[in-house]
Amino acid sequence: MSSTGPIELLPGLVNAHLHSPYGPYSRGVTRSRPFEIWMGDIMAREDRPLMVEEVEACALVTGLENLSVGNTALMDQHFGIQSQEHMVAAARAYEALGLRAWIFFSLSDLPYLCYTREAFPNYPKAIPTADLPEELQAMMQPFPLIDDQLNNAANVIRGWHAKKVKIGLGLSNPVWCSDELLRAAAALARELDAPLAIHLEEPPVQREVSFGQWGMSGVERLARLGLLSERTLAAHVVQLDDADVQRLAHHRVSVSHNPISNLKLQNGITPVGKMVAAGFNVCLGSDGQASGDSQNLFTVIKFVAALAEFNGLRELNGIVEEMALHMATENGRRLWFEGDLSQDYIEFSEPLGPYGYAWDEPAAYIAEVYVDRIPRVARAQEIVEPPRVGEVLVKVAAAGVCHSDWHLVTGATKHAMPVVAGHEGAGGNSGERERGSGNAVPALLTKVF
């Protein structure tokens, strides 16, 4: 790779923050809104928890999407049911693809859909639960006990052994966690020697809640409770002052910078320049498909470079495009992955210009993506299990709208809009046709909304 000549190869990119359970069915569905309104929108769409098979399918599609745009390693913070079966299903999908990955829990014990008086008694704007609409009260389900959450996480982490995919401890956000949970999670992370991922200082409201309820920023609270270290990955980190910057730098915390989702959810612009100047390990992330939509880190690099006048990078010595690429490659590779990441790279079908990785559309020119020098995009089709006796593998050619879908149109069946209709598909045998088999019709494909 040369900064003055054409580029034929690039190091594999590292996606430092995403959520595979908000899978491909969430892409392009939500519009730009303040974080809290967007969160309510997302929660209203979740008519039921994902089944284990659906979690695996979401991770598989998310992993394929990451591979196809040159991301050879990723950090997936898991939302939803966090049983051993669900966590292992996602890990199994990434392992099958040959990706390097960390999958993190996302533990909470305080409500995150609304700041209630019962859970946040010191926050002046907190609302009594009884004053909330019944629909909102119904969505605010109680959390499992802290000991049960931590014991489950410990058992899953200890029980999973794989070469490229690891499972780590994660917390949702300090404003959604009690001191008791944060303190216990810090002790467990030390006991397991496990890295810890957490969302931190996202929209202004979260900082307001933190000062109102605990009298300090989320960063200071995490520092006091022993959760900040060189094994901590903090996502977003938008709302912070100079004292917070110094605290994070002192503890050598890594940060996942997600500029696209930060702007879409109106969180603000992360002071990346200050972080880099303070010695942070700043990485780049796409966020989940519900908030960042695309998993394309080349687009993220473009945003970082384009915002250089506002995020502080322009004030530093260096070429902003190269700094952004460094965040997506070298900095991401410091995030505790297994193996030799220098063996991961992207091959282009035609050379890029010297700064094409930032300003062109490089994903369109990817010929192959290698992990451990193995062509993983070409190998991806091998993960499809061959049909067993009495089964047929169908390549779906068309989907049909049935009466159940019409119920959504008429309002007879209630579901958050918009939806993707059509859960009856028709197609041909993707392998050799058996005599007389004709076309096959799978019925009731799951999770189509």
Query: What is the per-residue pLDDT across 5-19, written as a single tens digit (0 to 9) for each?
Result: 789 999 999 999 999
Q: Are residues 302 and 173 in the same domain?
A: yes
Percent with pLDDT over 70 in the chain = 90
Query: What is the per-residue pLDDT across 62-78, written as a single tens digit (0 to 9) for each?
Result: 999 999 999 999 999 99
Residue-number span of the structural domain to which 15 is assigned = 7-108+143-383
pLDDT at 447 over 80: no
> Which residues are registered as beta bridge partners of 428?
395, 439
Q: What are phi and psi of 425, to 5 degrees?
A: -115, 155
Q: Are residues 379 and 398 in the same domain?
A: no
pLDDT higher for 378 or 328? 328
Of 336, 358, 383, which marks where a domain is finished?
A: 383
Task: State the total domains in the chain.
Answer: 2
Minimum mean pLDDT range among 101-105, 210-214, 290-294, 366-370: 290-294
Res 79: pLDDT:
87
Q: Are residues 309 and 431 in the same domain?
A: no
Q: Does 377 fall in a domain?
A: yes
| CB distance 398 to 427 below 8 Å | yes
Q: Are residues 327 and 373 in the same domain?
A: yes
Q: Does 128 fall in a domain?
A: no
Q: Are residues 279 and 402 in the same domain?
A: no
Minimum mean pLDDT range among 20-34, 48-62, 270-284, 301-315: 20-34
Q: Are residues 176 and 195 in the same domain?
A: yes
Q: Are residues 307 and 403 in the same domain?
A: no
Q: How many CB atoms lie within 10 A of CB 432?
A: 6
pLDDT at 80 over 90: no
Q: Does 129 fall in a domain?
A: no
Of 356, 383, 410, which marks where a domain is finished?
A: 383
| CB distance 62 to 75 below 8 Å | no
Give the separation between CA 108 and CA 100, rounded to whole angstroms: 26
Give the separation between CA 162 and CA 156, rounded to whole angstroms: 12
HSE-up of 89 (CA within 13 Å, CB side)? 21
- pLDDT confidence band for 434 (50 / 70 / 90): very low
Closest CA to 337 of 14, 10, 9, 11: 14
Q: Are residues 303 and 425 in the same domain?
A: no
**Mean pLDDT for the stretch of residues 337-365:** 95
Q: Does 259 fall in a domain?
A: yes
- pLDDT confidence band for 387 (50 / 70 / 90): confident
Q: Are residues 342 and 422 in the same domain?
A: no
Q: Does 134 fall in a domain?
A: no
pLDDT higher for 293 or 201? 201
Q: What is the CATH number of the domain that holds 360?
A: 3.20.20.140
Q: Does 63 fall in a domain?
A: yes
Q: Are residues 331 and 427 in the same domain?
A: no
Query: What is the per-residue pLDDT across 415-429, written as a single tens digit (0 to 9) for each?
Result: 555 555 666 777 766
Q: Long-range contacts for 440-443 (Cβ within 8 Å, ≥24 apart)?
A: 440/392, 440/394, 442/394, 442/396
Q: Does 114 fall in a domain?
A: no
Q: Does 389 fall in a domain?
A: no
Angle CA 197–200–204, to nearest 5: 165
Average pLDDT, whole number, for the chain? 89
pLDDT at 126 over 80: yes
Q: Are residues 205 and 313 in the same domain?
A: yes
Q: Are residues 334 and 402 in the same domain?
A: no
- pLDDT confidence band for 388 (50 / 70 / 90): confident
